[in-house]
């Protein structure tokens, strides 16, 4: 029962949303973080393709 609840909880993104709303992040900083995450994700994908 607990396992099923935990899965639904994770899929709904409740904890992620809570952490996101815990403090305010300026939009410019949020965009900068999104860009840097995207760069890292692309870099990792590129490394996997090359190796």
DSSP string, 14-28: HHHHHHHTSS---HH
pLDDT, tens digit, for every residue of 22-35?
999 999 999 999 99
Q: What is the pTM of this model?
A: 0.56
Given this model, what pLDDT does residue 25 score?
A: 92
What is the C-alpha separation between 35 and 29, in angstroms, rounded? 10
Among 34, 4, 24, smallest CA distance to 12 is for 4
Per-residue pLDDT band for 48 (boundaries 50, 70, 90) equals: confident
Cα gap 23→31, rounded to integer Å: 16
Cβ atoms 9, 15 nearer than 8 A: yes
Condensed to tens digits (0 to 9), the pLDDT of residues 2-23 reads 899 889 988 998 888 999 899 9
């Amino acid at each position: 029962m607990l396992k099923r609840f935990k899965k639904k909880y994770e899929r709904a993104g409740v904890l992620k949303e809570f952490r996101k709303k815990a403090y305010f992040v300026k939009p410019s900083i949020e965009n900068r973080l999104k860009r840097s995450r995207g760069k890292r994700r692309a870099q990792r994908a590129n490394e996997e393709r090359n190796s």
